[in-house]
Amino acid sequence: MMNYKYCPYCGSLFKKRKEFFKCPACSKKVYINSHPTASAFVINNGKYLISKRAIEPKKGTYDVVGGFLKNGENPEKGVLREFKEETGATIKVIDQLGIYLDKYKYQGDIVNTLNICYVGKIIKGEIKPQDDVASLHWFAIDNTPNDLAFEWIKKALGDLRTWYRKQNNE
């Protein structure tokens, strides 16, 4: 996405600016935006569910169940779709945990991500690793795995602990 060489409108060579590409021939601009994701921590009996990645980037590291949103997709609907694709289970969104910025290596580029994270609960089905998930793991709410896939997850886990304590009046 970051390595545009030609204008998608007229085919002329692009000139890259800080926040966009501009075509010198037709004056059209293509903006460089963050890529939105939607993810969810499912909570059950003082534990949260987290996955291990089956694919690159960061294969074998712990990640929140979720993924990139489709163009124009509502984030809450996107997290329901992603959770079903990756675990086979259906969740209900309980709350929005937060929005976190990070970076993601994609096709040789580093792109910015806008990660929308929810708290949810399973309402139907059994969880089984599917799609790009190698395995699924339950961790105690106060436990953080060492090998997290992305920086934003550490901050989100801190917010999840705070959220959980408020819900349980601790």
Residue 119's domain is classified under what CATH number?
Answer: 3.90.79.10
Burial class for 147, CB neighbours closer than 10 Å (0-12, 13-18, 19+) = exposed
15 lies in the same domain as 93? no
72 lies in the same domain as 18? no
Q: How many CB atoms lie within 10 A of CB 118?
A: 24
Place of tokens 């085919």: 11
Contacts of 26 (CB under 8 A, 6+ apart): 7, 9, 10, 12
84 lies in the same domain as 133? yes
137 lies in the same domain as 62? yes
Distance in angstroms (rounded) separating the CA atoms of residues 40 and 120: 6
Q: Over the chain (170 residues), what is each successive 10-residue block's mean pLDDT? A: 79 84 90 93 97 96 98 98 98 98 88 96 97 96 96 98 91
Residue whose C-alpha is closest to residue 37's, from 89, 4, 86: 86
End-to-end CA distance of the chain: 45
64 lies in the same domain as 125? yes
Place of tokens 């969104």: 93
Task: Identify the pLDDT of residue 1.
Answer: 46
- Domain that residue 138 falls in: 35-167
Distance in angstroms (rounded) separating the CA atoms of residues 29 and 31: 6
CB 159 within 8 A of CB 98: yes
Q: How many domains does the chain have?
A: 2
Residue whose C-alpha is closest to residue 150's, from 44, 53, 40: 53
